[in-house]
Amino acid sequence: MKVSVLALWSAAAALLLVLVAQAPSAAEGSHHGGAGLKLGYYKKTCPGVENVVKYHVAKAIKANRGAGAALVRLIFHDCFVRGCDASVLLDPTPANPETEKTAPINIGLAAFEVIDEIKAALEERCPGTVSCADIVVYAARDASSLLSNGHVHFAAPAGRLDGVVSRAADAQRDLPDSTFTVSELIRNFRRKNFTVEELVILSGAHAVGVGHCSSFRARLSAPPAQIVPAYRNLLSGKCAAAAGGADDPVVANNVRDEDPRAVAAAFPSFLGKLRKARDFLDNSYYHNNLARIVTFNSDWQLLTEKEALGHVKEYAENGTLWDEDFSDALLKLSRLPMPPHSKGEIRKTCRWVNRH
């Protein structure tokens, strides 16, 4: 049964209103890495924490569905670098001017203000209890559920600590680049213990969100065997403003979310396939990829390797299967631990480490 975002938002708001505020000064027990996480971690120390997160995520998506797409992207960019430790949230400082969020590969990361809002609400309710790392996971889980009308869903264990290390160089090393070949993508995901199938599954998140022209510049001169010329012309027109200047326009990851006027001008045969609701998380990415109408080289590359291509076809044919497998892949992603012997804390604010 499909549930509208408005209905989910209303339900979350109603739940939030009836919660009884309890604010213990510290989390019960100790926070853990990926192996020690548990469901209901905050049941006693911050009851209703997941309802609070869902309320704020739903409110953000109601105002701008792009915020939901940004939250889904944020969990990947956090957890693939030093594990799920909220290190991607840390702002640069004079002592550390190059945190992860300043890395070129993290261009366009957004929704930090949504995380800030959730953290502030939880600090007021349960001071010093809920980690920013857990908030990132809860928020991504709720965003993916709301953007998919509830088809993507999983129970999220918690108990993570916030990291105190954040380096742009780590993000550049660990995150897959949009220019990667399929071999580079497979090696990159294998280092985090993800399979070719899981690479294809997580790539399906490109059904939502936006990409910067600088991330797919080479696609604008790719041959027809790699990208439909009409779509290539559409992208070229969108990115023309970037030529010779510092501006770096953004383009919808999913051609089905494109501006009808731009599609009418460059790709009129696709007009009938545009969707009314932007940023709907479904298996349309796989249909787009097989039709050679995706933005990133790393997307098209999945068609060049036998196993990956088989999974692209599989998920194009079975959207329900992708919903289930994407849920499982997000859960696995959320369990990536911090490096051994890492120091952690519960930050007071998600953008700064605590002062000791």
Just list the catalytic residues. 77
Q: Are 130 and 50 in contact (CB under 8 A)?
A: no
83 is in an annotated binding site: yes
176 is in an annotated binding site: yes
Q: Are 73 and 202 in contact (CB under 8 A)?
A: no
134 is in an annotated binding site: no
AA identity, residue 71: L
In this structure, how many other beta carbons lie within 10 angstroms of the beta carbon of residue 120? 13
- In the chain the beta strands, taken as DSSP E runs, fall at 162-163, 210-212, 250-252, 344-345
Separation of alpha carbons 258 and 160, rounded Å: 38
Sign of torsion over alpha carbons 240, 242, 247, 250: positive
18 is in an annotated binding site: no
327 is in an annotated binding site: no
Alpha-carbon distance values, 88 to 73, 83, 85, 235, 238 (Å)? 11, 10, 8, 29, 29
85 is in an annotated binding site: yes
| Summary count for the chain: helices (H), strands (E) | 14, 4
78 is in an annotated binding site: yes
Residues contributing to the annotated binding site for Ca(2+): 78, 81, 83, 85, 87, 100, 259, 282
Binding-site residues for heme b sit at 206
The annotation places the binding site at: 78, 81, 83, 85, 87, 100, 176, 206, 259, 282
Annotated binding site for substrate: 176
